[in-house]
Amino acid sequence: MLLNYPSRFEAYGSVEIYELSRIHTLLSMGISPRPGAYSIPSLKQFEDTASKTVFIVPVKNEDPFVVEGVLRAIPYYSQVILVSNSQREPLNMYKVELDIARTIFKNTGRTIIVLHQKDKVLADNLAPHLPSIIGEDSLVKDGKGEGMLIGAIIADALGAENIAFVDADNYIPSVVLEYALIYYTALSMSESKYKMVRIYWGYKAWMSTDELYYRRMGRVSSIVNGLFNKVLSYRRKVETDIIKTSNSGEHAMSMDLAREIVYGGGFSVETQELVSILEKCYLGVDRGLCPSLHGGIEIYQIESLSPHIHAEKGEAHVLEMIFESASALYHSEIAEERGKSFILKTLGDLGFSRDPVQISRYEYPKIDARKLMDTVLTESSLSTGFGV
């Protein structure tokens, strides 16, 4: 992939947030360097970066046809972790996901680990190290953020240098391949030990009864990006619109950064990642909270060529995502009084009558990740690993 270097960035403490980068061409390995653009220089380096990147796919009751397409689209070089919170009765959707992973392994031999978020063995072994993630039923809480954190820990156990997230509801498999190429290229381009790549959908397609309409931005992002930028503007007293990917489910980061982030529960997770980074390495620099003070954190935002087409889950789902993301921002150190007032007014204009909730927050646990994975895969009758 030939990717343009971003033209500028904004610095917040030791955090550099880059303007949108755009793709010049999807496949370009081995070409001679171009001014202002970056391409992975060789197939060997491409394979090396891909093999050190573990993909995490959170899933909950998605169409098996779509899930299979997503899994098959991830390049063979990268290992895959499917973290499922799908139902097991009356229809056992989780068994279907297991059978898809098993079939892919039998056909290709690639490594795929399949975990269920409600696995008791997983919960029992996580509880001593991360008690806040356990719910009243003594199992891991429901929530996308909780599943993503579990995936990050298991990726750590596999020796990942980078982790990459893709949502399981993408209707077009080749788009997932494009995301992978973006991850590999931008992760190689970055010079920091602490790096993150967040994908900005070029378009998000919306299907009505009689036409396909391409929105420039999703409904959640259009609201939460604005909230985030306004809060940052008030905090710094300089207006900004730098945040374009507040709710980017498709994103990747170095494992070094993943261990330092405070994760948010539920649908707050993508917004909370940015909140956590800025709390530690912008506002927390003088308190010694930033592990990357001298090396810096680089956050790249890349615009995809392909539109994002996924399942429409209804207005309630969209509002829930907005509310949880706004709550993460409202209860952060970044939001001063003017920022909090702006968030409340925006939520009120959207019809919310309740105040933002305090979301669950999870520090990356001090845990022997390999021991956790081995125990779960050995003792559990629910979770399993193919090719491990």
Domain of 66, CATH number, reads 3.90.550.10
Q: Are 196 and 92 a contacting pair, CB within 8 Å? A: no
Q: Which of the residues in the chain have pLDDT under 70?
A: 206-210, 217-218, 311-314
- What are the DSSP E strand ranges found in the chain? 2-4, 9-12, 15-25, 37-38, 53-59, 80-84, 112-116, 162-165, 194-200, 204-207, 212-215, 251-254, 262-264, 297-303, 361-363, 384-386
Asked whether residue 99 is assigned to any structural domain, the reply reads yes
- Domain total for the chain? 1
Closest CA to 168 of 250, 104, 51, 88: 250
pLDDT on residue 212: 75
- Decide if 369 is inside a domain: yes
Inside any domain, residue 348: no
Q: Please give the residue range of the domain that contains residue 79.
A: 2-202+244-312+362-386
Give φ, ψ of 105 to 5 degrees.
-65, -45
Note whether residue 306 is domain-resident: yes
pLDDT at 210 (0 to 100): 66
Task: Indicate if the alpha-carbon torsion angle 62, 65, 68, 72 is positive or negative.
Answer: negative
pLDDT score for 211: 72
Is residue 270 a contact partner of residue 374, using CB atoms and an 8 Å limit?
A: no
The whole-number pLDDT of residue 209 equals 57
CA nearest 179: which of 95, 58, 302, 294? 302
Predicted pLDDT at 331: 97
Parallel/antiparallel/unpaired status of strands 251-254 and 9-12: unpaired
E strands, 101-227, are 112-116, 162-165, 194-200, 204-207, 212-215
Q: Are 180 and 15 in contact (CB under 8 A)?
A: no
Give the model's pLDDT for residue 30. Answer: 83
Query: Structure tokens of 308?
Result: 């994002």
CB atoms within 10 A of CB 290: 24
The pTM of the full predicted model, rounded to 2 decimals, is: 0.95
- In the chain, the N- to C-terminal Cα span, in Å, equals 30
| Domain contains 125 | yes
Query: Residue 356 domain-assigned?
Result: no
**Within-domain flag for 326:** no
Do 140 and 132 form a contact (C-beta atoms < 8 A)? Answer: no
Residue 210 lies in a domain: no
